[in-house]
Each structure stands twice: as C-alpha cells, then as structure tokens.
Amino acid sequence: MLPLHISASSGVPVYLQLEHQIKQAVASGLLQPGDPLPSTRRTAADLRINPNTVARAFQNLEREGVIRTVPGGGTFIASLNGLQSGLLKTEKLRRLRPIAEQLVVEASQLRVPSADLHKLLDAALIALENSRRTRTPESSGEDQ
C-alpha cells in the first residue's frame, strides 16, 4: 500500500496532492527506484477518487521523470540518477521559487528572524538525509 491520503477540504487539487505525496515518498526513501505502483484504478478505488485524476497525476510524474511506465507491464519508480538531473538549474529553481516565497511570507507573518529560518531549512535537510539513510539498507516495501 502506498502511504497516500487525500484531503478534500484543503483546496489543493487532488492530482497535485498525489504528485506531492509520491515525490515526498521518493525523497524520503519510502519508495525506492524500481518499486511498483498500483494501477490507476486500484489507486483511485483505494482513495475513493476519480481514476482520471490519478491518471493525470501519474502522467505529470512521468513527464518529470519521477516514475516510468512499461507498456503492458505497470508503473514503477524511476531511477534516481535519471531523475531531474536532466533539468537545467534555472528550471529547478523556478519550480522551487513559489514554495520559497510562501515560506518567507509565513515566516515574516510569524516574525521569525532570517537566521532562524535558515536553521529551520538546514534542520529539515538533515532530517530528510537521515530518514533516507535509515531506509536505504532495508529491502523496498512490499505492495499488496
């Protein structure tokens, strides 16, 4: 089972929620390259969402190189070295900019000084690195 969950009340489009959660599972090492994903309809039925929405999320993830589809053979997590390394640095930064802007706005509203914000970011990076390290040795999670 994928650790996916949908919040209908968040206002964030469901396909974006899916994309984000799968990216997060890959970034944290919960999903490893080569891990199979359940089919579009299976995922949709498990989450009680529209199959076209899942298909849209999977298509976007495939375009970004996060997953790959083998015709007639299912969908898998793509290998990490192929992932995103092909993107230009400017494009990578362009994708991150809105999230950075949002973070800065929230921080200024909470009156968090710049130094603390940098520390927070460093801590999050370290936490992600650690979770990746603890997961890597074990075999990839089984899907039912």
Partner 1 sequence: MTTYAIQTENLVKTYGHGRSATHAINGLSLNVPEGSIYGLLGRNSAGKSTTIRMAMGLARPSSGTMRVFGLNPAVDPERVTVLNQVGFVPEDKALIGSSPRKIFELNRSFYPSTWSDSLARKLIARLELPLDKAWAALSLGNKTKAALICAIAQRSRLLILDEPTTGLDPVVLDELLRILVEDCTAPIANDQPRTILLSSHQLAEIEQIADHIGIMDRGRLLLEGPLDEIRARFLRVTVTGENLPRISPSILSVKREPHATQYVLQHNPELFLSDLRSQGATVAETMPLSLNEIFLELCRTHDHAEDTVDFGAAR
The site for partner 1 (CB under 8 A) is made up of: 6, 8-9, 11-15, 41, 44-46, 48-53, 56
Question: Is 56 or 78 the residue whose CB approaches partner 1 more closely?
Answer: 56
Q: What is the dihedral of CA 44, 71, 87, 97, to 10 degrees?
A: -10
The candidate with the shortest Cα–Cα distance to 25, out of 63, 70, 57, is 57
**Shortest CB 43 distance to partner 1, Å:** 10
Looking at the Cβ atoms of 6 and 128, the one nearer to partner 1 is 6
Minimum distance of partner 1 from residue 140's CB (angstroms): 26
Give the number of other Cβ atoms within 10 Å of residue 97's Cβ: 10
Q: Of the two residues 51 and 65, which places its CB atom closer to partner 1 in the complex?
A: 51
Nearer residue to partner 1 within complex by CB, 22 or 49: 49
